[in-house]
Amino acid sequence: MSSPSVSRLAPELASQFARLALGHVAREYPNKMDHVLAGPEDVKGPRDLHPIFFGSFDWHSCVHGYWTLATVLRLCPQIPEAPAIRDLFDDAFTHAKVAAEVAYLLRPSARGFERPYGWAWLLKLQAELLLHETPWATTHRPLAQAFAQRFRDFLPIAAYPVRTGVHSSTAFALALASDYAAATSDGDLLALFEAKARDWYLADRHAQAWEPSGDDFLSPTLMTAECLRRLLPDNTFQTWFADYLPHADEARPATLFAPALVTDRTDGKIAHLDGLNLSRAWCWRALAAALPSDDPARPAMEDAAARHLAASLPHVAGDYMGEHWLASFALLALTAVDA
């Protein structure tokens, strides 16, 4: 896919990511649906239920496939795929299609739909659309507002975090959704995210890092840190991080600094580990950049980021089990410092 030395998004790589995403966001099948049947009338296909986000194997991957396309279009607007991206978005983001996606959420059986991973990605997509001088964000706003309200309703009753390396991770959800709160200047929502992050994670010390698990695509340890990096004042975060990973300057815990081994990229769960490598690269780059330039942990963190990126960036394409989502995580890693 690309050279292991790549550390920034070049136009050639943006073009490759765009071609991958264009190849799956409108591909309806195969499809793994998050859909509760309340009766025989609910037996419908992906496109009938979700007129925008029906592709990419599952709803949340389709959402972040659109985010990938929007982001590469903004960062590299001259790529050959740009007209196709614009045509796709003009067709997808219509009032009728957005209303249908919102209507799905009103189903009593949809209360837990895509919680919290898909919620966060939908808000991340809206934050990106707001950066474009098009009607897309305005048209898409009702759906984003509906998911923002889900966070407002859910977080006050969520007594405990979910500390996993998969879709249920609450740290990932708060980290990504905070971009939407910032982009929309929603101080109340941002305050809710910060309060919940403090409640859940601020007392964490001396992380043990019992990871990776066999189908992780997120690091529970690093996502906690990335969540707090985004939501705490810089000096508060730096003090907390020094206690959370006190031996980072020695590249310990060692498991956090070593890329995961991916043994079969045709297996959807094992292929998650490429995502783990890419999301660790994203976190390590962002966390290192948040520390003082002379912090002794920075070299080890930056080296870990480079090695994780090199381990999995060449494998973003190759099998549909990875192709339908990995470019999004590669893009997070490549733009962690300068997006």
Q: Between the CA of residue 22 and those of 55, 61, 69, 248, what are the distances in Å?
A: 10, 12, 8, 39
Tokens linked to 165: 């390396």
> Is residue 182 exposed (0-12), middle (13-18) or buried (19+ Cβ within 10 Å)?
middle
Does the pLDDT value for residue 7 go beyond 70? Answer: no
In the block, which residue shows the tokens 């009593």? 108
Q: What's the pLDDT band for 337 if we cut at 50, 70, 90?
A: confident
Contact 308, 284 (CB under 8 A): yes
In the block, which residue shows the tokens 């898909």? 118
Q: Over the stretch 277-323, which tens digit does the pLDDT of each residue have?
A: 999 999 999 999 999 999 999 999 999 999 999 999 999 999 999 99
In angstroms, how far is the first alpha carbon of the chain from the final one?
21
DSSP label at 110?
G
Tokens linked to 280: 């660790």
On the question of a cis peptide bond just before residue 220, with omega within 30 degrees of 0, the verdict is: no
Does the pLDDT value for residue 54 go beyond 60? Answer: yes
What share of the chain in percent tops pLDDT 70?
Answer: 97
- The residue count for the chain: 339
Nearest partner of 307 among 270, 261, 257, 272, judged by Cα = 257
Q: Over the stretch 138-178, which tens digit does the pLDDT of each residue have?
A: 999 999 999 999 999 999 999 999 999 999 999 999 999 99
Distance in angstroms (rounded) separating the CA atoms of residues 215 and 140: 32
* pTM exceeding 0.95: yes
Nearest partner of 228 among 261, 206, 195, judged by Cα = 195
pLDDT of residue 312: 98
Nearest partner of 79 among 129, 136, 17, 27, judged by Cα = 17
- Strand ranges (DSSP E) for 159-262? none
